[in-house]
Amino acid sequence: MTGDGKTTGADIAKKATSGGYHHGDLRAAVIAAGLARLAEGDGAELGLRALARDVGVSATALYRHFPDKEALLDALADEGLRRLGALQAQAWLKAGGGSAGFKATGTAYVRFAHDEPALFRLSFTRHMRDRKDGDDGGDVAYNLLRAGVSEAMPGVGNPDVAALHAWSLVHGLAMLILDRRIEWDAAMVDEVVALTFGGVA
């Protein structure tokens, strides 16, 4: 936090990378099994019975944590957002914050989509109505983005509009890659992100 009481990108990034992710062992095991199945591709079975088999328990045992498949999918989506937020926070800190950190968060966003396409799609297509603000990595990612705008472009008039502009850029680029409209090219991603996130490197 700065002397004027404002939260900085470094504050957000450090908080996002310092805390653990704690749930009951069974819940955590089921989420891990679901993530593993998502990584297998579009044909993966994500039903409660299939995941119960994966972790070696009865399907009935899962209902305490996941009353139905929709609750399970929401939990997986929430974990995807948490991972995205943590990766962006790590990228911010590694780059040293400021304009470099801001650009690094944009590149990390696109790379996450490329590396975990099924989880990325799930995370942004679920409508988690019961989610409270601040509960997931999506909020971490957005708050880090907004702080990055303020630090990298101090003269910007409306940080929320600028953050939305930057988010639209990286999300659109990620979807173009996932939908095979353009080929994955790490150097190209860096260059495109740099156009919005702090100028051409």
In a domain? residue 173? yes
Domain that holds residue 14: 9-20+76-196
In a domain? residue 56? no
At 63 the pLDDT is 87
40 falls in which pLDDT band (50, 70, 90)? confident
In a domain? residue 135? yes
Per-residue pLDDT, averaged over 164-187, amounts to 94
Tell me the CATH number at 147. Answer: 1.10.357.10
In a domain? residue 50? no
At 19 the pLDDT is 46
Token pair recorded at residue 137: 């990595």
Could you tell me if 71 and 89 are in contact, meaning their C-beta atoms sit under 8 angstroms apart?
Answer: no
At 200 the pLDDT is 41
In a domain? residue 66? no
- Domains held by the chain: number: 1
Residue 171 above 90 pLDDT? yes
The residue among 140 and 53 whose pLDDT is bigger is: 53
Distance (Å, whole) CA 84 – CA 64:
27
Question: pTM of the full predicted structure?
Answer: 0.81
In a domain? residue 14? yes
In a domain? residue 59? no
Which of 59, 44, 180 lies closest to 119 in space, CA to CA? 44
Q: How far is CA 129 from the centre of its chain?
A: 18
Distance (Å, whole) CA 146 – CA 160:
6
Q: Quick one: what percent of the chain has pLDDT higher than 70?
A: 79
In a domain? residue 31? no
At 129 the pLDDT is 56
